[in-house]
Amino acid sequence: MPHDDRWWNRFALISIVAGVIVRVVAVVLHPPLNYDYSDIHGYVTRAMRLADGVHLNRFDTFFPPGTHIILALPLKIFGTGRGGLWAGSVLWTLLSCAVPWLAWRFSVRVMTRRAAAITTALCAVWPLFIAYGIFFMSEIPSLVLLLSTLILAFRVAETTGRAKMLYALAAGLSAGAALAVRPQLVLNVIVAAVVVILAKRWLRATVVAAVGVAIALVPVLALNAHAAGRFVGISENGGLNFFQGHCPVRGVRTVKAGVGVLEFGSPVVAQQNRGIMFVIIGHIAWEQGYFFHLGMNCIRKDGIGHVTVLARNVADLGITSVPWPPSNERVLRWFVKPANLAYSWALPSIIVFGVALSRQRKDRANRAWLLVAHLVCVLPTAIIFYGDPRFRVPYDVFGLGLFAILVTSVRPRQDPEQVATT
């Protein structure tokens, strides 16, 4: 291995260790168990019900169950009291600590070691990754599972024989778990599948990976079906999210006899103080067909002018608000707000330059096109439903990687580095 590669390997290792130290300090100062409100409270209570084995709530099927299933694991072992929540806080910290290491393992396969090391360092100190590691939210678990899936997909392409099949099965299991946490990651899973398909003997590996996805998702679907009394899929919030994204909604309160009152609202809309409050009587939040119908009515009413709503939804992924829930904490807001704004404003230029770079055949060590492909997978979520920085956060690793590639491409080396395959 060239001396320069060894130096960047050490730099990446130092960055990973620094990231661990920062996250341990963060969880000591801000343990997730002390911040139990709004969506966080929902994840915690659903995890407690699952861990206790009590009767599941009909509302347990509204959000994808992956996050509360993960949180239920330490609660099942250590109890649903404060001890179990401390164990959950440790688990979230471990997941957060894994992000820089996984970013390194992914990056060395799509860029030079110098760029990969810089990407690792950026992920180690990225304020949004650190901040979301100290709340019981879905951003960090989804990021860990996404990166794990991508790395395993590369291993499928890099290996042969029995090892290839084992990696394919592991990739499928990881992909299924990622979809259970965030179904919109299906587009990234498809991009990862392309890596497998491009490898030799791809058909058999793809079938094995599909079996892994099924093994991971069937219990999740069964759990939701048991809670709802019928098959409902991974979640039932698509209709309400569609309505909120395409109509002038500030908040939604649904009231139905025999079910109760449920209330929802987007932190982005709340921060901008826009829209109106909808009180809907006789329907409940998980009646997806009804809310899709309301959303389509708004689209038809706006006509071509609805393009501005779509543009606003995309802007809401970054520049229009401070990511929630860190926005509620003064100290966290100081770090998260400028990082989010700087990244969001720079991202369009980073994507444009990334596309241009990917068209340059000379630099085969940097597969910028793959990062761009993964990065733009977040756009359909904003366009079809609505935008929120929380939806974008798991994709930030790709933007940071593109930035690292651009920085290291300013002064090309005379001897281009080769992509590491291990």
pLDDT in tens, 228-276: 999 999 999 999 999 999 999 999 999 998 888 999 999 999 999 999 9
- Of 86-90, 96-100, 227-231, 257-261, least confident by mean pLDDT is 257-261
At residue 420 the predicted structure's pLDDT band, cuts being 50, 70 and 90, is very low
DSSP state of 126: -
- In 3D space, the residue among 275, 317, 266 whose CA is nearest the CA of residue 298 turns out to be 275
Asked if residues 269 and 250 have their Cβ atoms less than 8 Å apart, the reply is yes
Q: Which tokens in the block code for residue 335?
A: 């770090």
The gap from C-alpha 345 to its chain's centroid, in whole angstroms, comes to 20
- pLDDT at residue 407 greater than cutoff 80: yes
Contacts of 48 (CB under 8 A, 6+ apart): 72, 75, 80
Given this model, what pLDDT does residue 377 score?
Answer: 96
Q: How confident is the model at residue 94 (pLDDT cuts 50, 70, 90)?
A: very high
pLDDT of residue 5: 83
Q: Is the peptide bond before 141 cis (omega within 30 degrees of 0)?
A: no
Q: What is the pLDDT of residue 197?
A: 79
For β-strands 249-256 and 276-281, DSSP reports them as parallel
pLDDT tens digits, one per residue of 309-361 = 999 999 999 999 999 999 999 999 999 999 999 999 999 998 888 888 766 65
Of all residues in the chain, the percent with pLDDT exceeding 70 is 94
Q: In which band, very low, low, confident or very high, does the pLDDT at 414 lie, cut at 50, 70 and 90?
A: very low
Please check the confidence at residue 411 and state whether its pLDDT lies above 70: no
**Closest CA relative to residue 248, chosen from 185, 343, 313:** 313
For residue 421, what pLDDT is reported? 45
Band of pLDDT at residue 81, cut at 50, 70 and 90? very high
State how far Cα 181 lies from the chain centre: 8
Q: Is the pLDDT of residue 70 over 70?
A: yes
**Angle, CA 274 vertex, CA 270 and CA 280 arms, to 5°:** 85
Interval 200-204 mean pLDDT? 77
Q: Which residue has the higher pLDDT, 358 or 165?
A: 165
pLDDT category at 362 given cuts 50, 70, 90 is: low
Q: Which residues contact 283 (CB under 8 A, 6 or more apart)?
A: 254, 256, 290
Give the pLDDT mean for 209-217. Answer: 96
pLDDT at 419: 46
Residue count of the chain: 422
Beta partners for residue 355, in sequence order: none
Q: According to the model, what pLDDT value does residue 119 have?
A: 98
Tokens of 114: 């110098």
pLDDT beyond 80 at 415: no
User: How sure is the predictor about 54, in pLDDT bands with cuts at 50, 70 and 90?
Assistant: confident
Q: Which pLDDT score is estimated for 368?
A: 87
| Per-residue tokens: 159 | 């290996």
CA distance 78 to 83: 6
Give, as one character, the DSSP assignment of residue 377: G
What's the mean per-residue pLDDT of the chain? 92
Is a pLDDT exceeding 60 seen at residue 142? yes
Q: Which sign does the torsion angle of CA 217, 223, 224, 225 carry?
A: positive
**Dihedral angle over CA of 124, 129, 131, 136, nearest 10:** -130
What are the b/e assignments for 223-256, b being 16+ CB within 10 Å? bbeebbeeebbbbbbbbbbbbbbbbebbbbebee
Distances (CA, A) of 297 to 202, 283, 303, 383: 44, 17, 10, 16
